[in-house]
Structure 1
Amino acid sequence: MKGKNLRVTDTRPNIIALRLDASFFFERAVRSLDRNHYDKALKYFRKAVEYEPDNPVNHCNMAGILSEMGDYQGSNEVLESVLQNVSPSMTECYFYMANNYANMEQFEAAETALVTYLEEDEEGHFLEEAEDMMELLYYELNRPTKLNRIKARQGAVEHDQARLLLEEGKFAQAAKLLEKISGDQPDLLAARNNLALSYYYMGMFEKAKGTILRVLQDDPGNLHALCNLAIFYQNEGGGPHLDVLLESLAVIVPFQQDQVFKLGTTMGIMGRHEEAYKHFRRLLKDSGNKTDASLYHYAAVAASNTGRYEEAERLWQQVKKLDPASETPRFYLSRLHELRSRSKPMEKLSYHYHLPFDEQFKLWEKYGSRNVPEEMKKDPLVRSSFFWALRHGDDATKSQVIQALTLIGDEEVREALGLLLADTTQAPALREQARAALQDMDASRMPAHALVSAGQPGEQPLEQRTAAADPQIQAVLDKAFSVMGKRYDIARQNDLKDLWFEYLDRISPEGFSIQHVEGWAAALEYLTAKMHHTRATYREIADRYGISVSTVSRYARQIDSVCGIKQKIAQRFPSFTEKV
């Protein structure tokens, strides 16, 4: 083969060098997971951590596999290491830890981790899951989780507290909290809307209107603000501004239920009853509202105000079924039957779910000065009408209101009477009546043991009531009052005492023996705090009385099973306030 050169070719196969790094092992781990090979996946994730020890994601992947394999403790050790040594800002680790603790049935540890997550995490990727876990913890621990804030929803928790104060008729306290929230977070328009309402309920109309107008400057289409402005315009006597605003509101068809309720109530207050009726009927078509007695009342009022009397009767009959203890549907049904028997049209009715103002006074007189039910005293709509009349009623009405408010006697009442007393434009007789009422309330602030011994006028003294029973019954009250100290006002001490005797009366205390004074006292304090919407946990109460959490829980459940405290607390009416 002369003249030809041999060409040597490279016959070695093409080889791609393996690049062993964290990504390589991560991919292998994911493949293993897809095949449910958890042992291999864990091995590969461990290798990924070795190659990139400063990458917190690798550590969390490893913790996730350990959790899937049932090694919850090992998973939490990895997560704690991430927070301490790798990335303290990786707050979602607290959520993962809470899940692990819950799986280990360490519910208090799960609660601590979950609260830390909610209070420290800015992104809120697991908010929905966290809310589900809070429901689980509520069921397991038999108490709500104490939560000061949700960082991813800044101001939401504080705003809920303010809304609750507003709904309870504690307008001054609500205003103070809402002023702080609005100052810290001016973009939270719901807080500013509710601040305007609190000013309005306190009779500070110019301040209320100015607050709403500033909201509308920032958000001209804000429905809650527009509805509030309509009410404020009406308070000023109406005029062309109100007419234009009402025409624009009349063509709005909101989608969200709270907006439908707000618009329906507003149109009713404005006298646009046909529009109000349509909105309330829309709400009643939703299956979730079928047990809401107050909503049926609003629909009944709208039906009556539009001449649909048979429909109004049917709706008030439904209110009676849903809220059998309420006097409101009975009054309106009676009034409806009376006027229809005379072939007279029903007068235009208020959309508030309580009796007309004069009827409230008649009912209080029927019960007697010292026997008005506590739920009636605490009804926020009753309170708001009283505070309103104290500012804007005639002298005769104000005199009646002072008598009624004296029976409530809480700090909000003291503040309102104090303002009237300081107002030199008020009639001297009214100021003197307010002074006497305040003095009566001051006289009632006697030491707890004296209060318990004295009882109410016409009531058998406590020593006689308990003489035939175990003397430890009195010891329970003494213990509760001594531990509560000055943290609870006289009204709450009275409520605790009433709750104790309500329980004893229902179980017939003859032969009833008190074996654990601290347990009963702690349970009474816990339930009293809940009745007043005061934050309290079994752990806090147990520490004060030097007993275990399970002891407080056991006695609280025993009292609740007889007196139905949780059910009473849960029966709250829909609010006119705006949610976040």
Structure 2
Amino acid sequence: MQMDKRRHRYSQMDRPENVIAMKLDASYFFERGMRFLQRNDLARAVKAFQRTVEYEPDNPVNYCNLAGVLAELGDFEASNELLHYVLEHMDPHMSECWFYLANNYANLGDYDAAEEYLLRYLDHDPDGEYAAEAEEMLSILIDEFGGGKAIERRRREEARAETMQAIQDGRYFLENGQFEVAVEWLEQVVEADPSHIAARNNLSLAYYYIGQYENALAMAESVLDRQPDNLHALCNRAILLQHFGDEARLARAVEPLLKVIPLHPDIAMKVAITLGFVGRHADALLAFRRLARLVPPDHPMLLHGLAAAHANLGNLRAAESLWRQLVRLEDCARVADYHLERVRQARAAGLLTVSAGYQLDVPVEMQLAEVRDRLQTSSPDEWKRDPLLRASLYWSLRHGNREVRQRVIRALAVVGDNDAEQALKSFLARSDIDASLQEQTLVALKRMGAKGAVRIWRANGSTEIRLEDVRKDIILDLQPQWREVWDLAETWLMARGLRALVGQARRFWLTYLYDELFLDLKKRIVKPETWASGLLYVVLRYASVPVVQRDLAAQFNVSASSLSKCSSRLEQVVLRAGWHARRSREE
């Protein structure tokens, strides 16, 4: 009995008066897991972090912690499963998961996947906690493990997306000099979606580039009706009013451009260039100085814009200094050298100012000379493949002198695609080209097989004609010698009762003109009799009419060797044209 009392007393003394129950929750197991990690007891750390997930299954941080310990244990597949689960089912914006996945895949030897996830992380969080490590890891993957495929794939995807967007708003066609196609495409875009502001602004530019200035101004005004502060439209309107010479309206149009201070470099550049273009050189200088806060000090367009403003204002020393900076940049050296030479010439002539354009382009004189040289040396395939060459063709068709325009017309006749056809049709509708250029353009369109209605200027104004109604032998009107050759050949056949061969002779001669002589301005017919006899020799042989080359040459008072050379050239073209015709029929 005594023993029982003592045991009861001891048990009462040992028991705490206030018992605090242990709180087992996610925080407890997180702290426990962290202690195990500090001791490098990874197995027990895993168990602790697994309990955090059990207690808080909706907290993505717990999954990430568990994934991190599993990675430390080398179980990268299990770690990846957890990270993918977080991104796909819990929080798709938890960017650090991309970084953890990249580390896991790198450890698994899947460097392409690691590279892809690093790029995703940097896309989502370029200034994130692991940004510096991700950049360093990306460099290692590329330099040490031959990576870069994911970056190239990403660049291709971005370029493709950018191209699709550029096509949608018409920028693609404008940048490639396909202005007629841009107009046709953008008119459809604007009709389908009248609220598409970017398409309207680009359509305004496209109209301007093809010389439809009234339409260009109307389209710029339509944008401003919807968005009065749209800077692209404000700039476009100012440039167009400068073209029309409407000083009063131009002054009002420039006012908003003087008040605005754009924060985006591209917009600030456009405003500054526009002010310079409309002759507000002092305001342009201020705008370019403001732009200097947004772009690097050696930005080519900034240097040129500042130099142009100074040159137009008479500050030749400042302009020269800026162009000397620009000449150090390889891509800009030619333009800078051109303007430096003009400054030297101005000083020698005692001039105080130099008129300089604000666009960082090869000057008009140099562009025309380059196009002329290219037209003489480049093959037609180059014009088809190279969008820059093609753009220079369209530009030269609008701004070139007569010789350049003639060469461009022939080059476009060889290019022969839909865009080239539209460019020629637009050129034909201009009121400032003479009858000879009109005829050459019609010949080019006939050679391309173009059809449909076109506008053309006659003495009584603009009229519409159908290309199908233009006679095939219009080409004979281009050169008196070409018609003289035909007249000699036709007269000879008719005089000998060979009327049945006239049609074939005509086809042969027109084929040679369209495929050879029209395409090369340097080729000339010196003696029409030689070519007439050569043409007749080919026609008679094809018709199995007995003919002696020497006798035919004597009738036209030409040498047999000259007749032979001409007939050989004619026959080559005729055979080539005939082969193409047979092949197309068989296909």
Q: TM-score range by the shorter chain?
A: 0.5 to 0.7
Q: What 5-or-longer segments of structure 1 have no aligned partner?
A: 1-7, 119-123, 443-456, 458-580
Residue 253 of structure 1: CA displacement? 3.4
CA contact (8 A) 1:199 1:207 kept: yes
Q: Which residue of 1 aligns with 2:346?
A: 339
Q: Which residue of 2 aligns with 1:417?
A: 423
CA contact (8 A) 1:406 1:441 kept: no
CA contact (8 A) 2:177 2:392 kept: no
Residue 144 of structure 1: CA displacement? 2.6
Aligned equivalents of 2:307 and 2:182: distance in 1? 31
**How does 1:7-46 map onto structure 2 within 5 Å?**
12-22=16-26, 24-26=28-30, 42-46=46-50
CA contact (8 A) 2:375 2:408 kept: no
Aligned equivalents of 2:420 and 2:70: distance in 1? 59
TM norm structure 2: 0.55
Point out the more displaced range, 88-97 or 345-354.
Answer: 88-97
Aligned equivalents of 1:235 and 1:105: distance in 2? 63
**How does 1:455-470 map onto structure 2 within 5 Å?**
none
Aligned with residue 430 of structure 1, among 434, 437, 446: 437
Taking a change above 3 Å as real, the CA distance of residues 28 and 301 of structure 1, as seen in their structure-2 partners, is same
CA contact (8 A) 1:405 1:413 kept: no
Taking a change above 3 Å as real, the CA distance of residues 58 and 259 of structure 1, as seen in their structure-2 partners, is same
User: Is 1:48 the equivalent of 2:55?
Assistant: no
Q: Tell me, what secondary structure is at the counterpart of 1:352?
A: coil
Taking a change above 3 Å as real, the CA distance of residues 344 and 182 of structure 1, as seen in their structure-2 partners, is same
User: Is 1:296 the equivalent of 2:291?
Assistant: no
- CA offset digits 1:399-454 (Å, max 9, x no partner): 25725964995968525435337859776643543455568889xxxxxxxxxxxx
Aligned equivalents of 1:141 and 1:94: distance in 2? 18
Q: What 5-or-longer segments of structure 2 have no aligned partner?
A: 1-11, 450-519, 521-587
- CA offset digits 1:17-54 (Å, max 9, x no partner): 44434455456557878999877664433222234556
CA contact (8 A) 2:86 2:92 kept: no
Aligned with residue 60 of structure 1, among 60, 64, 86: 64
Aligned equivalents of 1:157 and 1:184: distance in 2? 20
- Counterpart AA for 1:417: A
Aligned with residue 250 of structure 1, among 241, 254, 258: 258
- Counterpart AA for 1:322: L
Aligned equivalents of 1:179 and 1:44: distance in 2? 66
CA contact (8 A) 2:300 2:332 kept: no
CA contact (8 A) 1:149 1:158 kept: no
Aligned equivalents of 1:174 and 1:282: distance in 2? 33
Q: Tell me, what secondary structure is at the counterpart of 1:231?
A: helix
Q: Which residue of 2 aligns with 1:550?
A: none
Aligned equivalents of 1:216 and 1:37: distance in 2? 69
Task: Give the number of aligned pairs.
Answer: 422
**How does 1:109-508 map onto structure 2 within 5 Å?**
109-110=113-114, 125-126=124-125, 140-141=147-148, 144-146=152-154, 158-159=164-165, 166-171=174-179, 193-194=201-202, 196-203=204-211, 205=213, 208-209=216-217, 212-213=220-221, 215-216=223-224, 219-283=227-291, 288-290=296-298, 292-323=299-330, 326-365=333-372, 369-370=376-377, 387=394, 390=397, 396=402, 399-400=405-406, 402-403=408-409, 406=412, 409=415, 414-420=420-426, 423=429, 429-434=436-441
Taking a change above 3 Å as real, the CA distance of residues 206 and 53 of structure 1, as seen in their structure-2 partners, is farther
CA contact (8 A) 1:296 1:316 kept: yes
Q: Tell me, what secondary structure is at the counterpart of 1:288?
A: coil
Residue 341 of structure 1: CA displacement? 0.8
Aligned equivalents of 1:336 and 1:432: distance in 2? 42
CA contact (8 A) 2:371 2:392 kept: no
- Counterpart AA for 2:83: L
Residue 205 of structure 1: CA displacement? 4.9
Taking a change above 3 Å as real, the CA distance of residues 100 and 371 of structure 1, as seen in their structure-2 partners, is same
Aligned equivalents of 1:172 and 1:61: distance in 2? 60
- Counterpart AA for 1:356: P
- CA offset digits 1:509-553 (Å, max 9, x no partner): xxxxxxxxxxxxxxxxxxxxxxxxxxxxxxxxxxxxxxxxxxxxx
Q: Based on CA coordinates, which of the two structures has the bigger radius of gyration?
A: 2
Q: CA RMSD in A?
A: 5.4
- Counterpart AA for 2:62: N
- Counterpart AA for 2:278: M
Aligned equivalents of 1:180 and 1:19: distance in 2? 69
Taking a change above 3 Å as real, the CA distance of residues 368 and 394 of structure 1, as seen in their structure-2 partners, is closer
- Counterpart AA for 1:126: D
Aligned equivalents of 2:367 and 2:400: distance in 1? 17
Q: Which residue of 1 aligns with 2:515?
A: none
- CA offset digits 1:370-412 (Å, max 9, x no partner): 159x89x9686x8767645646x69948825725964995968
Taking a change above 3 Å as real, the CA distance of residues 117 and 417 of structure 1, as seen in their structure-2 partners, is same
Taking a change above 3 Å as real, the CA distance of residues 394 and 322 of structure 1, as seen in their structure-2 partners, is closer
- Counterpart AA for 1:169: G
- Counterpart AA for 2:63: H
CA contact (8 A) 1:91 1:117 kept: no
Q: Tell me, what secondary structure is at the counterpart of 2:350?
A: coil
Aligned equivalents of 1:308 and 1:55: distance in 2? 67
Aligned equivalents of 2:69 and 2:219: distance in 1? 53
Point out the more displaced range, 214-223 or 181-190.
Answer: 181-190
CA contact (8 A) 2:343 2:354 kept: no
Aligned equivalents of 1:297 and 1:199: distance in 2? 27
Aligned equivalents of 2:156 and 2:192: distance in 1? 16
Aligned equivalents of 1:229 and 1:198: distance in 2? 13
Residue 141 of structure 1: CA displacement? 1.5
Point out the more displaced range, 72-81 or 269-278.
Answer: 72-81
Aligned equivalents of 2:304 and 2:49: distance in 1? 61
- Counterpart AA for 2:359: H
Aligned equivalents of 2:357 and 2:148: distance in 1? 42
Point out the more displaced range, 267-276 or 198-207.
Answer: 198-207
Taking a change above 3 Å as real, the CA distance of residues 55 and 271 of structure 1, as seen in their structure-2 partners, is same
Residue 179 of structure 1: CA displacement? 8.6
- Counterpart AA for 1:330: D
- Counterpart AA for 1:419: K
Taking a change above 3 Å as real, the CA distance of residues 99 and 160 of structure 1, as seen in their structure-2 partners, is farther
Q: Which residue of 1 aligns with 2:110?
A: 106
Aligned equivalents of 1:100 and 1:408: distance in 2? 57
Q: Which residue of 2 aligns with 1:75?
A: 79
CA contact (8 A) 1:390 1:401 kept: no
CA contact (8 A) 1:389 1:397 kept: no
Taking a change above 3 Å as real, the CA distance of residues 185 and 417 of structure 1, as seen in their structure-2 partners, is closer
- CA offset digits 1:456-500 (Å, max 9, x no partner): x9xxxxxxxxxxxxxxxxxxxxxxxxxxxxxxxxxxxxxxxxxxx
Aligned equivalents of 1:116 and 1:186: distance in 2? 36
Q: Which residue of 2 aligns with 1:567?
A: none
Residue 76 of structure 1: CA displacement? 1.8
Between Structure 1 and Structure 2, which shows a larger proportion of helix residues? 2
CA contact (8 A) 2:409 2:424 kept: no
- Counterpart AA for 2:355: K
TM norm structure 1: 0.55
Residue 268 of structure 1: CA displacement? 0.9
Aligned equivalents of 1:243 and 1:232: distance in 2? 12
Q: Tell me, what secondary structure is at the counterpart of 1:302?
A: helix
Aligned equivalents of 1:293 and 1:266: distance in 2? 17
Q: Which residue of 1 aligns with 2:473?
A: none
Q: Tell me, what secondary structure is at the counterpart of 1:144?
A: helix
